[in-house]
Amino acid sequence: MTNAEIIATDPGWITLVKGLLIFVVCVLATLMSVWGERRLVARMQQRMGPNRVGPFGLIQALADGVKLALKEDLIPKAADRIVFVIAPIISATTCFMAFAVIPLSGPVNLFGQETVMQMTDIPVGVLYIFAIASIGVYGIVLAGWSSGSTYPLLGGLRSSAQVISYEIAMGLSLVAVFIYAGSMSTAEIVSAQDQWWFCVTLFPSFVIFAISMVGETNRAPFDLAEAEGELVGGFHTEYSSLKFALFFLAEYVNIVAVSALATTLFLGGYRALPGLGFTESWLGGWFTVIWFLAKVVFFFFIFVWLRGTLPRLRYDQFMKFGWKVLIPFSLIWILIVSTLRVLSQQGAPRSVLIGFSFGIVLLVLAGSSLFESSKKRRAQEDELGEVAVPSFPVPAIPGKINKNRTEQLNG
């Protein structure tokens, strides 16, 4: 039985219970991940991190949440009141919705009912997640726009531009997954990975997805939307109290959501590590949830690791990377993958497949060496060429006497 068939037999109350469970797990995951991130990033910087509230500081995030809820809720005079209130609600609700189609476990027994920990399984599950993520962008744009202030507006525009451009790369990286799984349903993508996980067979797709999911969630090193040094707090500068808490919640739920998506699409979802398949039946199948969570935590660790290691990108570099590197690269990769897929499906001999792959590798090598040599030539030209002196006053270049400048200074 496929997941969709199992879910179809669920009585209504089981769906309600599952919805509640997923919601609770998401909120708990947020609280734990805020704590975990702060502890981990602190250790990377040889600090301790929060360790005051509760054992090991475990309920620090909860304490922060309570504090936020008790704060004064300000709405700026220049703000568009209605949109200003709606924006965080959009952000916070959409981020939860992605979890409806993510299979958290294999077949389990929930209150005497045989089911899977997945709210619903639709044939276009992954597209649904993308649609929801795009609606989530509205929360950010509207928050920035309705604040009636410059920094939030800039932050909101930045982050919407960022999310939209990285969503393209993300979507393109998934095409290869769809081609190989033959489905867009999350449950079927997971079951298509029973032999090899897609992170191995479709490694380039996995890399593109992993990079673009950091951009998609506005996380360091791609956290330009809330670049503290430039934009104060970005789109949520004017927000306070519970509304701010909602954005905060949305950010972390989003991280968990894309980690869960990456787990489902590339790391075999709730399935055990290769060779440990027997663990999937432990605890009446509930052990698969642990596998799933372990993989999500792995991705979360990567997120924190990136944040602890890399400096923030400049905005133009970031956009250049998204549009000029990630998107063309994934387009070419899709071409290659689909050609290989069609060839193998039409029963082309193995030699043709190998020849094709070899040709691709040769082409890539030739292209990169051409690129290198042209770069070298350009560098040489730069060294030879004189820099034209602009008509406006410029600071002197060290080691070079700027005649124009001295003339200007002397009248």
Partner 1 sequence: MDNPLTPRSNDLGLTAAAKANTPIESQEAKTFAKQLQGFWVTFKTIFKKPNTVQYPEEREPTAERFHGRHQLNRYDDGLEKCIGCELCAWACPADAILVEGETNTDDERYSPGERYGKVYQINYLRCVFCGLCIEACPTRALTMTNEYELADESRAKLIFEKEDLLAPLKSGMLQPPHPMVPGTTHIDYYRGDITGGSNG
Contact residues: partner 1, CB under 8 A: 40, 42-48, 305, 308-310, 398-399
Q: Which is nearer to partner 1, 40 or 126 (CB)?
A: 40
Q: Which is nearer to partner 1, 81 or 376 (CB)?
A: 376
Q: Which is nearer to partner 1, 47 or 81 (CB)?
A: 47
Q: Which is nearer to partner 1, 23 or 305 (CB)?
A: 305
Shortest Cβ 309–partner 1 spacing (Å) = 5
Shortest Cβ 302–partner 1 spacing (Å) = 10
User: Which two structure tokens, joined as six digits, stand for 61?
Assistant: 């995030």
Dihedral Cα 160, 219, 24, 86, nearest 10 deg: -30
Q: Which is nearer to partner 1, 223 or 238 (CB)?
A: 223
Shortest Cβ 197–partner 1 spacing (Å) = 22
Shortest Cβ 317–partner 1 spacing (Å) = 12
Rounded to 5 degrees, what angle do the CA atoms 111, 113, 118 make?
Answer: 95
Shortest Cβ 46–partner 1 spacing (Å) = 5
Q: Which is nearer to partner 1, 43 or 81 (CB)?
A: 43
Shortest Cβ 106–partner 1 spacing (Å) = 32
